[in-house]
């Protein structure tokens, strides 16, 4: 099937299925344009992507250390929370925006050829830029609150890559399915809501009873959040590899790449008809 | 593929599947899960074959719905041809020119849009920067480059987009009736660019339903009809074929239409005080062979037949006709008084029940001609019946001369004595 797809693609045009320099250029232009437009007209502009996590921290601090004392067992709980919320926020935003990556750009798709995957990647990069700006604020809090750095802290870069791979994979699936099934936006909203509670973002994993905590940690998003907290905030974070037997804790690390590969082929298979169906 | 061929299309087919009711929501999908999938297949293109040589100006012509836009979109890579059908091979960088300003954003400034639009056309940031001055100069929008696109007039937006598009370095250009936009000033600028492309030896595919543009600029062309190539060859011949096809279809359409129209009372007038002794029943147009027709070629014979009813015995009955063009200019008129028909001639008309005039090789240009018909007494001041422009016929011409009539002409040169027009 893969071979057939490839033959079809290369036959249509003398163009490669793989990206070339032109397409990277297009990704960059589209991503920065979207980012620019996102904050256009507002007084603070780009600053919003810094102010928002700041305000969020304030809210979390008041609610979870003064009102509900959920995380008393965990040091630096507000920062611990903030990191989880920011990571989850990125995943939510990127996948929600990706639903419209193809449908919303119908005008472009019907009139000019370029690999359609460019649209999903550029949308992802726009979200990634905001996320990285948010992380700057998170790092400032980590430093100010004297959270414990693990020696392996630089490994968090690999986690960001894993997170992006996961989000792109999901985005590819969502954006290509949304062309045919417009109900998906509502369904995805519900799934995200459910996943928010099924992921240890607001509550410490230690509060979850035994078999469930392992099931929860099969979710790559949960694994990424817990690993990041372990590396950057406190080593008292309970992670997947602490609670699961050796063979199982690997699953969430592999899953994003499986999703990406599946998403890529699903996307490329549907991409040929986007111009007709959008 | 040999080296001088830029585009090769072989056995190309394209089928669209049009669902009866698109299932865009889960509910309708669920409800229709077990019912038969209802969709119609529409074959937009059937077995298309052609080659375009390097440096050639190639035209694609056809009516709306003939498949020309589908073909262009396949060439541009936007649509994918049917599986198992043939293939399209293009060598060289291709610049789609299907629509101007694709991807432009109203919220960005002119400058930002040039970089964004450039990226969509396949230009790198450096390439746009390098050509920036050239692009802006051509668009004549120097003072507006830092203004948001939403504050541009539509003409300014087109100028900006066109200036960018012509600077996208490409060996193959696809153009879809781009020339139809913009004012005449801008159009002439476009045509100038066109000639520049020609001199640079670039390959251009031009899609249009305007015969004159195809014939003027293209070397070769294909004529598409219902998704098939109905003619391929020199642009001149293909264009003429298109005109004749249109003529036949127009004839059919008009014949159907005319069947439904009845003569309205208000169309006819009788001069005041005159007794209505005769009335026009209907007016018909025929060709030389006596066949009813509504569409004629320049240079054909047009026979106008006027049926009338005689209400009272009348010794001297006269007929007159007048031809008017679409701008209501009186092109030609004559009558039995002017042509000095004898009493005997007129009596034969009365016996037949209709008057008939044969206009020999009409040297008229393209267009619709309205016919006014009158019946008079001995003098044309006594009008018994007069039909205002209730009947019309169309003329199709292949000539490119100007003015309102087609005069036979030739330029005298030492060797050649070729006539400017040769009528069939």
- Confirm whether B412 is domain-assigned: no
Closest Cβ–Cβ partner in A25, A36, A107 for B125: A25
- Confirm whether B265 is domain-assigned: no
pLDDT average, residue stretch A7-24: 52
In angstroms, the CA B58 to CA B78 distance is 20
- On whether any CB of chain A is under 8 Å from the CB of B5, the answer is no
Do B80 and A25 lie within an 8 Å CB cutoff? no
How near does any CA of chain A get to the CA of B50, in Å?
15
- Confirm whether A19 is domain-assigned: no
- Confirm whether A185 is domain-assigned: yes
**B chain contacts of residue A15, beta-carbon cutoff 8 Å:** 77
Answer whether B280's CB lies under 8 Å from B268's CB. yes
State the Cα angle at B343 between B338 and B348, rounded to 5°.
Answer: 105
Beta bridge partners of B296: B395
Closest of A199, A230, A229 to residue A83, by C-alpha = A229
Residues comprising chain B, all counted = 424
Do A275 and B87 lie within an 8 Å CB cutoff? no
Query: Which one of B248, B263, B296 terminates a domain?
Result: B248
In this prediction, residue B36 carries a pLDDT of 55
Q: Residue A113: phi, psi to the nearest 5? A: -95, 135
In angstroms, the CA A49 to CA A136 distance is 10
- Confirm whether B254 is domain-assigned: no
* Model pTM score: 0.76
In angstroms, the CA B407 to CA B329 distance is 17
The three-state DSSP-derived secondary structure of chain B is: CCCCEEEEEEEEEEEEEEECCCCCCHHHHHHCCCCCCCEEEEEEEEEEEEEEECCCEEEEEECCCCCHHHHHHHHCCCCCCCCCCCEEEECCCEEEECCCCCCCCCCCEHHHHHHHHHHHCCCCHHHHHHHHHHHHHHHCCHHHCCCEHHHCCHHHHHHHHHHHHHCCCCCEEEEECHHHCCCHHHHHHHHHHHHHHHHCCCEEEEEECCHHHHHHHCCEEEEEECCEEEEEEEHHHHHHHHHHHHHHHHHHHHHHHHHHCCCCHHHEECCCCCCCCEEEEEEEEECCCCCECCEEECCCCEEEEEEEEECCCCCCCEEEEEEECCCCCEEEEEECCCCCCCHHHHHHHHHHCEEEEEECCCCECCEEEEEEEEEECCCCCCEEEEEEEEEEEEEECCCCCCCCECCCCCCCCCCCCCCCCCCC
- Domain shared by B86 and B228, yes or no: yes
Could you say which residues from 84 to 113 on chain B have a Cβ atom under 8 Å away from some Cβ of chain A?
87-92, 94, 96, 98-99, 102-103, 105, 107-108, 112
In angstroms, the CA A119 to CA A101 distance is 6
Do B24 and A187 lie within an 8 Å CB cutoff? no
Do A273 and B116 lie within an 8 Å CB cutoff? no
Closest Cβ–Cβ partner in B16, B24, B27 for A276: B16
- Domain shared by B103 and B227, yes or no: yes
In this prediction, residue A2 carries a pLDDT of 41
- On whether any CB of chain A is under 8 Å from the CB of B125, the answer is yes
- On whether any CB of chain B is under 8 Å from the CB of A42, the answer is no
- Confirm whether A248 is domain-assigned: yes
- Confirm whether B284 is domain-assigned: yes
Closest Cβ–Cβ partner in A11, A12, A26 for B119: A26
Domain total of chain A: 1
Q: Residue A209: phi, psi to the nearest 5? A: -65, 165
Contacts 24+ apart (CB under 8 A), A38-47: A38/A126, A38/A130, A40/B107, A46/A133
- Domain shared by B241 and B287, yes or no: no
DSSP A115-182: -THHHHHHHHHHHHHHHHHHHHHHHHHHHHTTPPPPTTGGGHHHHHHHHHHHHHHHHHHHHHHHTT-T
- Confirm whether B334 is domain-assigned: yes
In angstroms, the CA B23 to CA A181 distance is 8
Do B79 and A30 lie within an 8 Å CB cutoff? no
- Confirm whether B266 is domain-assigned: no
In angstroms, the CA B260 to CA B256 distance is 7
In angstroms, the CA A102 to CA A176 distance is 7
**A chain contacts of residue B83, beta-carbon cutoff 8 Å:** 8
In this prediction, residue B24 carries a pLDDT of 62
Do A182 and B98 lie within an 8 Å CB cutoff? no
- Domain shared by B242 and B287, yes or no: no
In this prediction, residue A8 carries a pLDDT of 41
Label the pairing between strands B57-62 and B220-225: parallel
In angstroms, the CA A142 to CA B210 distance is 69
Kindly tell me if the per-residue pLDDT of A94 is higher than 80.
Answer: yes
**A9, A10, A16, A29: best to mutate for the B interface, most B CBs within 10 A:** A29
Burial A224-236 (b: 16+ CB within 10 A, else e): bbbbbbbbbbbee
Closest Cβ–Cβ partner in A25, A40, A273 for B107: A40
- Domain shared by B238 and B126, yes or no: yes
- On whether any CB of chain B is under 8 Å from the CB of A13, the answer is yes
Q: What percent of chain A has pLDDT over 70?
A: 92
- Confirm whether A4 is domain-assigned: no
Two tokens at B134? Answer: 């050239």
- Confirm whether B268 is domain-assigned: no
- Domain shared by B278 and B192, yes or no: no
Domain total of chain B: 2
The single residue listed with the structure tokens 């968090």 is A156
Do A26 and B29 lie within an 8 Å CB cutoff? no
Q: Residue A180: phi, psi to the nearest 5? A: -100, -30
- Confirm whether A118 is domain-assigned: yes
Residues comprising chain A, all counted = 278
- Domain shared by B98 and B191, yes or no: yes
Q: How confident is the model at residue A17 (pLDDT cuts 50, 70, 90)?
A: very low
pLDDT digits (tens, 9 = 90+) for A178-190: 998 888 999 999 9
Domain that holds residue A102: 31-277
How near does any CA of chain B get to the CA of A211, in Å?
34
Closest of B102, B104, B107, B169 to residue B134, by C-alpha = B169
In angstroms, the CA B97 to CA B275 distance is 67
**A chain contacts of residue B92, beta-carbon cutoff 8 Å:** 14
Closest Cβ–Cβ partner in A29, A187, A273 for B116: A29
Domain that holds residue B118: 5-22+30-248
Do A25 and B116 lie within an 8 Å CB cutoff? no
How near does any CA of chain A get to the CA of B210, in Å?
21
Do B119 and A30 lie within an 8 Å CB cutoff? yes
**A chain contacts of residue B105, beta-carbon cutoff 8 Å:** 33, 37
List CB contacts of B18: < 8 A, sequence separation 6 or more: B39, B40, B41, B42
Q: What is the pLDDT of chain A when averaged over all its residues?
A: 84
Two tokens at A163? Answer: 């997170």
In this prediction, residue B350 carries a pLDDT of 83
Answer whether A114's CB lies under 8 Å from B120's CB. yes
- Domain shared by B194 and B241, yes or no: yes
Interface ipTM > 0.85: no
- Domain shared by B142 and B280, yes or no: no
- On whether any CB of chain A is under 8 Å from the CB of B119, the answer is yes
- On whether any CB of chain A is under 8 Å from the CB of B80, the answer is yes
Q: What is the pLDDT along chain B (424 residues), one digit of tens a residue?
A: 566 888 888 888 898 887 766 556 666 666 666 555 667 788 889 889 999 988 888 999 988 888 888 888 888 888 888 877 777 888 776 766 666 777 788 888 999 999 998 888 888 888 889 989 988 988 888 889 899 988 988 878 888 888 888 777 677 878 776 655 556 676 677 777 777 877 888 888 888 877 888 888 888 999 999 889 989 999 888 988 888 888 888 888 877 776 655 445 445 566 555 667 788 888 889 988 888 888 888 888 999 998 888 877 766 788 899 999 888 889 999 988 888 888 888 888 888 888 899 999 888 888 889 888 888 888 777 788 888 877 888 888 777 788 888 888 888 887 655 555 544 4
Do B78 and A28 lie within an 8 Å CB cutoff? no
pLDDT average, residue stretch A102-116: 88
How near does any CA of chain B get to the CA of A278, in Å?
11
In angstroms, the CA A198 to CA A213 distance is 10
Q: What sign does the dihedral A94-A97-A103-A104 (CA atoms) show?
A: negative
In angstroms, the CA A205 to CA A9 distance is 47
Looking only at Cα atoms, what is the longest distance across chain A? Answer: 65
User: Counting one residue from A and one from B, how many pairs have CB atoms under 8 Å apart?
Assistant: 93
Two tokens at A94? Answer: 């990127």
**B85, B122, B171, B207: best to mutate for the A interface, most A CBs within 10 A:** B122
- CATH at residue B148: 3.40.50.300
**A chain contacts of residue B74, beta-carbon cutoff 8 Å:** 12
Query: Which one of B209, B230, B248 terminates a domain?
Result: B248
The single residue listed with the structure tokens 């209709």 is B354
**A chain contacts of residue B80, beta-carbon cutoff 8 Å:** 8, 12, 272-273
- Confirm whether B424 is domain-assigned: no
């Amino acid at each position: 099937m893969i071979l057939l797809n490839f033959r079809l693609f290369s036959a249509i045009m003398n163009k490669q299925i793989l990206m070339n320099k032109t397409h990277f250029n297009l990704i960059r232009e589209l991503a920065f344009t979207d980012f620019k437009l996102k904050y256009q007209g507002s007084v603070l502009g780009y600053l919003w992507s810094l102010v928002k996590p700041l305000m969020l921290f304030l809210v979390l601090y008041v609610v979870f250390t003064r009102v509900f004392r959920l995380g008393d067992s965990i040091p630096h709980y507000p920062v611990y929370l903030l990191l989880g919320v920011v990571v989850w926020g990125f995943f939510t935003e990127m996948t929600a925006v990706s639903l419209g990556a193809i449908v919303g750009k119908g005008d472009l798709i019907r009139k000019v050829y370029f690999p359609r995957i460019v649209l999903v990647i550029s949308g992802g990069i726009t979200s990634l830029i905001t996320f990285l700006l948010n992380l700057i604020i998170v790092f400032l809090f980590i430093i100010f609150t004297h959270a414990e750095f693990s020696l392996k802290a630089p490994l968090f870069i690999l986690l960001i890559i894993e997170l992006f791979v996961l989000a792109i994979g999901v985005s590819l699936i969502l954006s290509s399915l949304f062309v045919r099934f417009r109900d998906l936006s509502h369904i995805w909203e519900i799934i995200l809501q459910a996943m928010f509670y099924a992921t240890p973002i607001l509550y410490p994993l230690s509060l979850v009873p035994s078999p469930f905590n392992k099931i929860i940690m099969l979710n790559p998003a949960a694994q990424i959040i817990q690993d990041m907290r372990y590396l950057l905030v406190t080593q008292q974070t309970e992670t997947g590899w602490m609670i699961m037997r050796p063979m199982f804790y690997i699953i969430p690390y592999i899953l994003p790449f499986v999703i990406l590969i599946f998403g890529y082929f699903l996307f490329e298979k549907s991409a040929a008809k986007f111009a007709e169906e959008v | 593929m040999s080296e001088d061929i830029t585009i090769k299309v072989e056995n190309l087919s394209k089928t669209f599947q049009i669902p009866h009711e698109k299932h865009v929501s889960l509910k309708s999908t669920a409800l229709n899960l077990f019912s038969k999938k209802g969709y119609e297949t529409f074959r937009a293109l059937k077995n298309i074959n052609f080659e375009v040589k390097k440096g050639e100006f190639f035209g694609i012509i056809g009516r709306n719905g003939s498949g020309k836009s589908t073909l262009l979109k396949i060439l541009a890579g936007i649509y994918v041809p049917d599986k198992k059908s043939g293939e399209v091979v293009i060598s060289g960088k291709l610049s789609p020119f299907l629509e101007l300003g694709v991807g432009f954003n109203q919220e960005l400034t002119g400058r930002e849009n040039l970089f964004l639009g450039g990226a969509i056309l396949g230009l790198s940031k450096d390439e746009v920067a390098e050509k920036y001055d050239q692009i802006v100069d051509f668009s004549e929008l120097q003072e507006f480059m830092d203004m948001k696109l939403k504050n541009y007039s539509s003409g300014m937006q087109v100028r900006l987009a066109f200036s960018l598009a012509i600077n996208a370095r490409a060996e193959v250009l696809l153009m879809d009736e781009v020339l139809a936009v913009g004012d005449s000033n801008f159009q002439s600028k476009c045509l100038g660019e066109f000639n520049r492309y020609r001199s640079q030896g670039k390959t251009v595919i031009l899609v249009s339903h305007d015969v004159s543009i195809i014939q003027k600029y293209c070397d070769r062309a294909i004529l598409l009809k219902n998704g098939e190539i109905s003619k391929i060859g020199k642009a001149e011949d293909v264009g003429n074929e298109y005109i004749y096809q249109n003529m036949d279809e127009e004839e059919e359409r008009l014949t159907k239409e005319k069947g439904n129209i009845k003569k309205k009372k208000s169309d006819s007038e009788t001069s005041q005080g005159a007794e209505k002794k005769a009335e026009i029943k209907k007016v018909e147009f025929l060709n030389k062979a006596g066949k009813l027709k509504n569409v004629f070629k320049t240079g054909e014979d047009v026979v106008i037949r006027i049926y009338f009813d005689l209400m009272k015995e009348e010794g001297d009955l006269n007929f007159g006709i007048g031809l008017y063009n679409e701008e209501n200019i009186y092109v030609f008129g004559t009558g039995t008084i002017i042509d000095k028909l004898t009493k005997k001639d007129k009596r034969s008309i009365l016996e037949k029940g209709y008057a008939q005039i044969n206009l020999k090789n009409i040297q008229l240009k393209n267009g619709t001609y309205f016919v006014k018909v009158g019946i008079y007494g001995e003098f044309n001041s006594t009008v018994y019946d007069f039909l205002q422009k209730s009947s019309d016929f169309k003329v199709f011409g292949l000539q490119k001369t100007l003015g309102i009539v087609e005069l036979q002409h030739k330029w005298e040169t030492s060797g050649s004595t070729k006539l400017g027009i040769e009528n069939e």
